[in-house]
Every structure is written in structure tokens, then in C-alpha cells.
Structure 1
Amino acid sequence: MLRKTPPLEAIEAFVSVAHAGGLRAGAVALALSPSGASRRITSLEGFLGVALFDRSGPGLRLTPAGERYLALIEPAVASIGRATTMLGADPDRITLATSHSMATHWVAPRLARLKQEEGIDLDVVPTRDPDILRSGEAQLALWGGVEIADLQAEPIIHVDARPVCAPHLADGRASPAEEAALTDYPLLGVREPHDMWSRWLAGAGLAGEQPIRSFATLGMMYEAAAAGMGVALAVPMLCERPLAAGLLTPCGRALPTGERYRLYRAGRRAARSPAETRLAHWLKREATASRVRFDALSA
């Protein structure tokens, strides 16, 4: 049976020399002699049937084919390295990607309790970039407002939204006395999902396009609302603290938005680990408890 892929040690030598910019430096990085690294690269070129380096000058330079091959295989080589590291890692340590607001205001305050109750050490990366799952840098992601076809998704909680604002706005006005007055106030939103207000207004029967002052994160939006800049849409899990402190007060009904927080994982991954299963169940319990508190605070 013909081999379809070259030996990994030959690929490692090629990548190391390409990154180092020279045969000697690349060989040293792999604890090889220059001649040993050269032999591995030559065998790789023979396997591929193309020259990966231009040897006509005083040093080695990647050929166009070498540049293309390096760009194609680097992600795979990095994934192999991460997989090897993860295999020997603590099975109860999980890396979770989530938004900056979720990481700061909801996940971080619960880390100690998660460790105590489930024995899980959670490393949190504040990002909404799905490539962190595809690359294997994170095992799971907790995101709302996105749907990503090539990732596995498990619903954690559905999101209702309720208008909130400071008891008195910066311009001296009191909070809106009725929903119909909302459109006379500055409306605050976030960049993603960008259409939360349009969906809430349609559900409340307040049709029409309204200008929205957008913020990068929900946390920034709530800070601006508490400072009296306008009316924001409060959602469970992220608005409990300003509501409990009286910094924000409800000024409208809680209505469905069609949004959900979901737990994502790479579609090509095998079945989730026992620790990942425990984390998923724990997140659902915590999110449900947060929604109950949110409903009580915003009633």
C-alpha cells in the first residue's frame, strides 16, 4: 500500500528550517545535525516531487511551492502539537472561550465555586472567534447571538430581554413611565447581535426604525445605561448586578428575542470528556438560576 502522507519528522524539519531561515538554526531547534535536517527535507521534496527550497544562493530560500506548502501544513502541525500537549494535560482542566462581558461579569465570579462543586479548573479566554475551537486552543465556547454551522451547539438558556435604564437620565429626565415613550429616549445596543432592539420593539408593537447607539460589549452598554446615557436591553446572566444595586431599573416588559446562549464545540471532535459533560450540566443549572434571579429583580 502506497503511503499517502510523508513522515512527520520530515515535515518537522521543513517547518523548523523555514521558520529559522537557515539550515543550521532549524536543525539546532530540533536537536539535529545540519546534515540530518537536510536529509529529512530532501526526502520530503522527493516524496512531494517539488523543490521546497531554492539552494542556488548562499542560503536557503523557500520556493513558491515551499511557501504554499508551509501555509497549508502549519495549522495541522500546530494542531498535532496541541493535541499532544492536551493528551497529557489534567483531564479536569478545560479552556472555555466566551465574550469579554460574560467572562468578566458571570464566569469569573463563579470559578472558585465551579472548582469546589465539580472539581473543574476552568481557563477562560475572552473571544468570540470560532477559530479558537477549530484549532483546538479551546475545548468549549459559551456564546450568544451567533450560529456557526460547522460547530456542534448545545442550548444553555434562551434569552428574553427587558428595557432598563438609570432611575434618572443624564439629561434630567426620569425613566420612561410607559413603553410607548421608549422611542423618545436614546436607545443603547451592542454590535452583535445588532438587531435586538428591532426585534424587541416589533414584539412590543412599537414598529419603526430607531437610531441605536452601539457598544462593543454588553458590559460597556450597561455601564453607559447606568450613567444615564439611555435605555438598554437587559438579558439574564449579565445584568443581575446593576439591577440588584439599583443602578438600573426596568422600564418595559421582558419579551422573547429568539436568541440563546449555546455551548459550542468543534464539529470534528470526538465525544466530549466527562469533565466537559459535568461543565455543560453545571452551566445549565447556573444559567437557569441566573434567569430566576433576573426575573425577580426585573419584575
Structure 2
Amino acid sequence: MATRRLPPLRALEAFVRIVRMGSARAAANELGLSPSALSRRVTSLEEFVGKKLFTRAHQAMKLTDDGRAFYEAINPHLEALAQAVEAQSENLQLLRLHLGVSPLFGSQRLFPRLLELRKLHPRLHIDIDTGPNLLGRVGDTLDAAVIVTSDPDDSYYSVRLDHNRVHAICSEALSHEIGLSPDMETLSKQTFLIHNDLPESFEAWKSALGFQALQPAAIDHFDSGQLMLEAAAQGLGIAIMHDDHFRRATGKKLAKLYDIEVESPYSYWFVCRPKALDTRPVKLFHDWMIESGL
């Protein structure tokens, strides 16, 4: 049987790095190449496959439709190759991921699914960090993080995990007391519970009701979504939170105020430094997260 020709592996590596990092400059720096040397490697790959993989303009390289199709075709095989090499390696060390998450995301969404990930990748272990300033520590003490924000900084690789609506959540008893019809006088006598990182959610909810001038009796601020839910369940106030949090808050006697649809200014995002996607632990978690719809 004739031996099939393999593409130039260094050129393939250059191509994959540009796609994953989203920048030819970043890929060149990571590989220790000049921009012209990186371009030559890509050109050799294009000559091998007979297709234009990138358009080039003003020192920028943009993936073509053929380039995107080529990447989607080879990426699963590159992953299988990496797994095969690992399986034959004598150095079977644990793969360690330092991941930052909020306590509420960890308890409601991540931990109920982690056993699936463990069965799929037994060597991947995750150190969980729920401390402050997660985004600022990505690339330093954290490999990656799942954060709630309106729009991550462009210097990070980011994937939006959901689209949310804002709910006003309170105890069932308080819900009955407030009633079904929005009334600004009634709401002005209430305490609202607001997360420190999500101040615009309350403004969005008030605007949807047409109550921009609403001044509640008090606003209590929290840095923990878990404690906000607990405070709401105990009748201590009205928590302004995401619909996803409400759906997953099982076992608590909570109710949603009013039947209104309010788009949230915030979403959960997975973030890491672009070069981190080349590390095995980050890539395994990232791919599982996307495929599983975490």
C-alpha cells in the first residue's frame, strides 16, 4: 500500500495556532517566528492542500470559507492524535486546570455535571477558585474562568454561555403580599437585594415596568448569588437575579414577581488567554463545556 503524504507539520501547527489564537501576530510570537516566516509556513500548507486558507491584508490574516472548513475537518483528528500520544506516554501525570467560577455557577451548573467530565477525561482534575476579581487573575493564578459580565475585554478569548432574563425573586409569602399587579407605591416599601457585580440588572427591571423613578425603602448589596437566594427565600427582600438562577433554585420556596420579559445586560462567559487554548487542560474543559451545553 502506498504511503500517504503528510502535510508539513510545522505549517499545520502554524495554521492551527492562528485559528485558535485569532491573531497571526500572537501566533508568530507564541511560535517564536517573524510574521514573514509564519506566512511562509501557511503558504506551504496552502500549496499542499491546493486551497487559499487565509486572506491577507495589512499584515492581518483572515480565515477563508475553505480555511474554516479545513480547520473543522482536521481539528477532531488533531485531538485524537493528542489523545493517542498521551495514551502511549509513560509520563501519565494528572492534567490540572485552575478554574475560577462564582459559587452559584459552581453549585447550580458546574458540579452537577463534573462527573460526566471525569468519566470522559479521568486524568483531568480541576482546582476551583471562587475568590474575587476572577477576570483579572486569568493568565496569572487562573488558567480560565467563568464570569458574569456584559462584554469581556478583547484581549481574552471568550465564549458566551447563555442569554438571560432578569427576574425579581422573593419568598412565596412576600409575593402574595405584594400582589400580581405592578404598583410603585407597594414596591417603594420593599427591600431589594442587588449583586455588586450586576448593578444594571435592577435598572433594566425598573425600566421594563416603567418605574425608572422607583426608590425602594432599602437596597442591600451582596457579593454572593447563593446568599441572595437564601435571603430572598427567608423573606428578607426582593432579589434581582437571572431566570437561570430561579429555575435551578430547587428546594426553596421562591416566586417570581410579575409576568414580564426583561433582557439581562449580563451573561455567563468562559474566558481565558488566547494561548491557553493550546494547553491540554484548558482545551479539554473548553471543548467539553461547549459540546455539553454547560
TM-score in terms of structure 2 length: 0.57
Alignment of 1:280-295 (within 5 A): 280-284=286-290
Alignment of 1:183-198 (within 5 A): 183-184=187-188, 185-198=190-203
Amino acid paired to 2:256: P
User: Bigger radius of gyration, 1 or 2?
Assistant: 1
Equivalent residues of 2:206, 2:214 under 8 A apart: no
Query: Counterpart of 2:242?
Result: 235
Residue 109 (structure 2) aligned to one of 85, 103, 106: 106
Q: How many residue pairs align between the two structures?
A: 196
Deviation sequence 1:27-78 (CA, Å, 0-9, x none): xxxxxxxxxxxxxxxxxxxxxxxxxxxxxxxxxxxxxxxxxxxxxxxxxxxx
State the secondary structure of the residue aligned to 1:195: helix
1:168 aligns with 2:176: no
Equivalent residues of 1:219, 1:238 under 8 A apart: no
Query: Counterpart of 1:276?
Result: 282
Deviation sequence 1:210-252 (CA, Å, 0-9, x none): 342211211111111000012112325433343x325111113
CA shift, 1:173, in A, is 6.0
> Structure 2 CA distance, aligned partners of 1:128 and 1:285?
28
Query: Counterpart of 2:264?
Result: 257
Deviation sequence 1:77-99 (CA, Å, 0-9, x none): xxxxxxxxxxx894743221112
CA shift, 1:260, in A, is 1.4
Query: Counterpart of 2:143?
Result: 139
> Structure 1 CA distance, aligned partners of 2:246 and 2:288?
20
Quickly say closer, same or farther: Cα 1:246–1:103, change in 2 above 3 A: closer
Query: Counterpart of 1:221?
Result: 228
Give structure 2 stretches of 5+ with no counterpart.
1-90
Amino acid paired to 2:128: V
> Structure 2 CA distance, aligned partners of 1:186 and 1:134?
39
Quickly say closer, same or farther: Cα 1:286–1:234, change in 2 above 3 A: farther
CA shift, 1:200, in A, is 1.7
Amino acid paired to 1:151: Y
> Structure 1 CA distance, aligned partners of 2:109 and 2:231?
19
Share of identical aligned residues, percent? 16
Amino acid paired to 1:262: W
Quickly say closer, same or farther: Cα 1:179–1:282, change in 2 above 3 A: farther
> Structure 1 CA distance, aligned partners of 2:128 and 2:244?
17
CA shift, 1:281, in A, is 4.1
Equivalent residues of 2:276, 2:282 under 8 A apart: no
Equivalent residues of 2:100, 2:144 under 8 A apart: yes
TM-score in terms of structure 1 length: 0.56
Residue 178 (structure 1) aligned to one of 165, 169, 181: 181
State the secondary structure of the residue aligned to 2:236: coil
> Structure 1 CA distance, aligned partners of 2:160 and 2:129?
20
